[in-house]
Structure 1
Amino acid sequence: MTTYRAGVIGLNLGQSHVRGFDEADGVEVAAVCDIDESRLEDVADQYDVPGRYTDATAMLETESLDIVSVTTPAALHPMMTLLAARYPVQAIISEKPLANSMGEADAMLATCNAAGIKLLCGYQGRHMRAFERARGLIADGAIGKPLVVKVSVDEGGLLNQGSHLIDRSLYLLGDPEPLWVLGQVQRETDRYERGYYCEDLCFCIAAVEGGARIVYDNDIGPGGDVGNRAFVVTGDDGMLIVEPSIPAISMSYGVQLISGNRDDLDEPWDGVETNFMLAQANELVAWLNGDIDDHRQNAHHAIKSQSILMGLYESARTHTLVEVPIQTKLAPLEAAINEGSLKVRYPGAYDIRRPFVYAKDKVG
């Protein structure tokens, strides 16, 4: 059996990628890279990784890697992905979101396509059994024609938490192409997420092929009787709710179905947590081996959620409905801030994830 040599760039979130590769059959973690030498040594010692680097170029030039995970903050995803694509690797996993702009994400995908490299995005939530189950029920007509997917998150920002939820909405619907986005953004505090601009709250409606619409919001607060991060999928012959069975465990999703064409069902979480990183690695090995035709985290799917993310920001910036494909290639949230249309009313910069949450008065 072929064994693929993997390297990981960035070991904060990247520790989980190292663990997933370490647990998977057919992968060896050959090298890791981080600018924090202490963290580098700690992770490399824990997983007995021989190659240890503080410079990504040196790692790529030395190690003859097959797989590269880019798990830096999002602002560095394009740079590190394009760097890795210069070498004869077979697959690159960029953590989510692909980038902070449409132009960068398009360039990442086009470059990997041209080089014959399989590009993935870190939307590991697609491996949760509840979402597999719900996607299958929708595809089988359990709710008739899907009309609306509604989901929200109480706090966490669009590119941080919301990107996962918008991607899972597309996954539930069978990964249709987005058509247009209409959105609104508020940023009255000087809020950041891992060093990049973050809105205070936002909302959007996105239309997709087939007629369904995705309705999303973040940081506005609880929304009715459904729980935080719950997905309500309404069709013309039924409704599905994919919701955490235990509110304190955000990934404890179960499935409820009310259908006009079959028996209703209520399938709570089975208590078994999904090993996301192992699932990601196992499916990648199967894809590289030719055992499957696609990976559910293929960036050709992720570019669709990227379009909705950037379309939301661009719609708020221009006060217009934004059609997909998006023509604006620069970062629309950053552009809106620089243009002065999103003015800070309450000064004092703070970051919601450095590395996780710092108080406002602790971050300059």
Structure 2
Amino acid sequence: MSIPNSCAILAAVSLAAIIMSKAVPPVEAAARAFFVFGDSLADTGNNNYLATAARADSPPYGIDFPTHRPTGRFSNGYSIPDIISQKLGAELTLPYLSPELKGKKLLVGANFASAGVGILGDTGFQFVNIIRIYEQFLLFKQYQRRVSALIGEEQAEKLVNKALVLITLGGNDFVNNYFWTPITARSLEFSLQNFSTYLICEYKKILLSLHQLGLRQILVTGIGPIGCAPVMLATRSINGQCAEEPNLVMKIFNPLLQQMLKDLNRELGSAVFISINSLEMQSDVIYHPRAHGFITSKVACCGQGPYNGIGLCTAASNICLNRDLYVFWDPFHPTERANRIIVDAMFNGSEKYMSPMNLSTILAMGSMT
């Protein structure tokens, strides 16, 4: 399905602005910064500093982190951005709101992600105080000013231009918006197909904004089989089978996203956007957990109710003894071990997982600008 004409017109205007803008100077050899935008799959603690219900700052979150304390990550241990940093041989990127992010630590990069956000501004309304995606971009502009004051405007521009970027968006637009209740305003407004197309149109604007900010190597995640998450098994499934309608999301949204990214790269004349095929990565593990050393992908390690899929993960929840044997940590988020499998596929996977190239190839090529 093609993107609506109105979306194409807006994208053309944004592209013209990019072409007319000042060219970015060549990148000198330097450590690669890493920036992260998006939702709870990537939030490493920004929401700790907000008055919001979307927080993971209480036990047993962080039970397998080196400190064995909650960090704000929606995981038992390390998150996807952490594991990417480890593979890069770099320090972990700090949450942008952390008071520790100052001085030379700014040169490592920063994490702007906020649990609960989506592509749309009304996604995550139930969490009240979260950093919506365009607000994350405003914080990034503030970051750029801080780095310019530290190392000079020209060097700051080079640091941003050479940086690696991860953005994780889209899942909340379905789980915490379209499917939030049996009947929602969005589900009355759109069919699932039309809602997905609308999201792609809005996502294109977001990605063009990242490019306008000077970012040139951007990893973009698709949506996994959300109908198989314990929260969906507990609330929408029949006999423990993956919930049918939510699982249609990946079949509709992901191909639209991949085509949009291809079109954007063609328009920009460079492989700026790298598609992370979350569908294939997560499906392999979820449908064949034992092949990957897990005992189950249906039951969350931490939770309550059917499949441990109801409510929040708290100290009063059922907690499994060995997190490495479970695909899901809480009703929606993967365990650290599942995250490591996903990141391994990002680095070494074929085009089935990463398009047009995997992360090892990107790093071997150096800057693509």
* TM-score computed with the length of structure 2 as normaliser: 0.31
Higher helix proportion (structure 1 or 2): 2
Higher strand proportion (structure 1 or 2): 1
